[in-house]
Amino acid sequence: MTQTCPTCGLNYRNFRTGLTYQTVYDMLWVGGDDTGQWRYKRRHTVLGLWHQIKCELWEAHVTGCQPETKLGIEPPETISY
């Protein structure tokens, strides 16, 4: 995993998921009566899931973060009318 986005220069430590602890905790909730599906909702489990989500979002950011010229869009100063 790269620690800095090669396109925009964003650092992994400064990258935020936009989630809160409570949001991630609620993702672990299973509303069924089958206790085999229940998951432990201790701090370590919640932080581990949060880390997994952050890693996936970071990879999506690095993959999707491209300069405008690579997307086929001309920069504004070169557009001719």
Q: Which tokens belong to 74? A: 């001309």
Note the pTM of the prediction, 2 decimals: 0.71
- Per residue in 25-70, pLDDT tens? 988 887 778 878 777 789 999 999 999 999 999 999 999 987 654 5
CA distance 30 to 35: 9
Q: Which tokens belong to 13? A: 């430590």
Residue 17's pLDDT band, with cuts at 50, 70 and 90, is very high
Residue 76's pLDDT band, with cuts at 50, 70 and 90, is low
